[in-house]
Amino acid sequence: EKGQIRVQTENIFPIIKKFLYSEHDIFLRELISNAVDASQKITTLSSIGEAKGDLGELRIDVSIDKEAKTLTIEDRGVGMTQEEVDKYLNQVAFSGAEEFLQKYKDANIIGHFGLGFYSAFMVSDRVEVYTKSYQDQPATYWSCDGSPSFELGPTEKEGRGTRIVLHINQDSEEFLEADNIRRILEKFCKFLPVAIFFEDKQINNTQPIWIKKPSELTDEDYKNFYKELYPFGEPPLFWIHLNVDYPFNLTGVLYFPKIKQSYEIQKDKIQLYSNQVFVTDEVKDIVPEFLMLLHGVIDSPDIPLNVSRSYLQGDPNVRKINGYITKKVSDKLEEIFKNDRKSFEEKWESIGLFVKYGMMTEDKFLEKAGKYFIMQDSQETTKFYTLDEYKTETEATQKNKEGKTVILYTSDPVGQDAYIKAATGKGYKVIRFETIVDNAFVNNMEMKWSDVQFTRVDADIVDNLIDKAESNDSVLSEAEASNLKTLFSLEVPGLNVTVDVKGLSPDSAPVVATRPEFMRRMKDMGAMGGGM
Ligand code: ADP
Ligand code: MG
């Protein structure tokens, strides 16, 4: 036997109301999105001659009446005939947006599921609709209290468009507070393409830069937009304009922020939009983790508006978008490095953090980053080496027994000064790895780069830093060295160090205490207890 599942509207209604959206604020986004869609539709219909005459000013007005306990949203869009109200509002999950999309292929339409309108009942006892279609027909009134029964009939209404009046319920009186409504509008509607007014002030910028062509924009435009997004932020270092329409749709601008104090890195500064409607600022699953340090906006109608985390993770578009963003960022870095290495080096303090983090966490990025990953010299701070340059310049001096290049580095140029002097005195090149990610970076890259060995400059006495199996002639007799060692060990009990008095350059310290690189790293990783 075959049949049709029947839905009991009395039961399904409360479920929709309660579980459709976890956040009640969303109802405003949904109703405004519908008003924007209605305005976009009339523009489309007018452009193809289906709607005649002057369209007038397309704007959306939001207002509250505290006494009457109503919130009203009014647009000058297509409006609906009585027949359309019956079709679109009385049929739950019938999307007029989807229907319009199929007919007119209008990519600017936001709606999809035919459920958004019902979110009004999350906050209302009763919803009233007054609407007049662009087609020459009488205005229509619809009213419903959230039960499956409704009222529908002709009414009086001046001009084309739709007015939706929400009678806010007792539990939702926060939506009668102007400050709250303004906050929600600014959050969700800040960049919608149709002007939205609340208390006579326009809320949104209808032409955000990410929808424009990069060729139409100046550096000033990008900087101003950054200021609009983060009014208190410092100017960004540079930016990337994303713009693809195949195999998925994605636009946006990502900014590299200036990072002075690596400790105040801010995550969650990227906002996700879908057709200019704010969706979320938790972009964890869309943007690769290391790029979450970036700021800016990405907009993709291919990322569905109402979806759960787990859905996003599995979404093939989301995965493709992730890969695309990684590639774009890498291309941009390579471009700056090639075209203006000086400026790239000057920004390395900020850029380096992303790059290193990316190299550690994304193998695809690691492959590309080799071209522009640079290391700063510890002595000559304006000198930077790519990995290849470092290998070439140290070819003769810094190969270990296995033929690997030994990268000598300092994690503390001041504290390790004596060691650095000793090493550079020997002709070695010591680089700076002093940021918070460097410790992890060194451990990680040693596993990934098979031809490199990292050694911290205080890991051993200078003659032993590069493991070349040379003989170490001591100036002391074995007994003298042993006595001295005992003496130092008594001075610093419990400190697991090697004491040596040879092999240092004349202008540096006469005695060195070192700790093997391996032991130190274990300690840094917290794998060994105290007492070291
Ligand atoms: P969706 O937007 O996903 O299609 P909604 O439940 O939000 O679903 O809305 C259902 C339909 O009701 C819309 O597709 C549209 O045809 C109609 N509608 C809703 N609000 C308006 C409005 N302000 N002006 C004109 N039509 C509207
Ligand atoms: Mg909708």
Q: What is the pLDDT of residue 377?
A: 96
Q: C-alpha angle 212/214/216, rounded to 5°?
A: 70
Q: What is the pLDDT of residue 9?
A: 72
Ligand 1 atom closest to the Cα of residue 114 is: 8
Q: How many CA atoms lie within 13 Å of 115's alpha carbon, on the beta-carbon side?
A: 14
Q: Does residue 143 sit in helix, strand or coil?
A: strand
**What is the mean pLDDT, run by run of 10 residues, along the chain of 532 residues?**
78 68 86 96 95 94 98 98 94 79 77 81 94 96 91 95 97 97 96 97 97 95 94 89 89 88 66 90 82 90 63 71 90 95 93 91 91 95 96 94 94 94 94 90 93 92 76 62 74 64 52 68 55 38
Q: How far is CA 6 from CA 3, 14, 60, 89, 148, in A?
A: 9, 17, 38, 19, 15
Q: What is the pLDDT of residue 475?
A: 59
Q: What is the pLDDT of residue 405?
A: 95
DSSP 355-398: HHHHHHH-HHHHHHHTTT-EEEESSSTT-EEEHHHHHHHTTTT-
**Tokens, residue 312:** 């996003």
Distance CA 318, CA 287 (A): 9
Q: Is 468 left (phi over 0), alpha (psi -120 to 50) or beta?
A: alpha
Distance CA 296, CA 270 (A): 5
Cα 66 to averaged position of ligand 2 atoms, centre (Å): 26
Return the residue whose CA atom lies nearest to atom 7 of ligand 1: 116
Residues ≥6 apart with Cβ < 8 Å to 502: 461, 463, 472, 473, 474, 475, 476
Residue 463 burial (CB count, 10 A)? 17
This prediction has a pTM of 0.80
Q: What is the pLDDT of residue 284?
A: 78
Cα 32 to averaged position of ligand 1 atoms, centre (Å): 10
Return the residue whose CA atom lies nearest to atom 27 of ligand 1: 34
Q: What is the torsional sign of CA 258, 252, 35, 146?
A: negative
Find out whether the beta carbon of 127 lies less than 6 Å from any atom of ligand 1.
no
- Looking at residue 458, its amino acid is D
End-to-end, the C-alpha distance of the chain in Å comes to: 77
**Tokens, residue 235:** 């100017």
Q: What is the pLDDT of residue 503?
A: 43
Confirm or deny that 204 is annotated as ligand binding: no
Return the residue whose CA atom lies nearest to atom 16 of ligand 1: 96
Distance CA 331, CA 73 (A): 45
- Element at 244 (helix H, strand E): strand 238-244
Ligand 1 atom closest to the Cα of residue 41 is: 25
Q: How many CA atoms lie within 13 Å of 13's alpha carbon, on the beta-carbon side?
A: 13
Ligand 1 atom closest to the Cα of residue 84 is: 16
Distance CA 142, CA 154 (A): 9
Distance CA 196, CA 39 (A): 11
Distance CA 255, CA 209 (A): 13
Q: What is the pLDDT of residue 504?
A: 47
Confirm or deny that 80 is annotated as ligand binding: yes
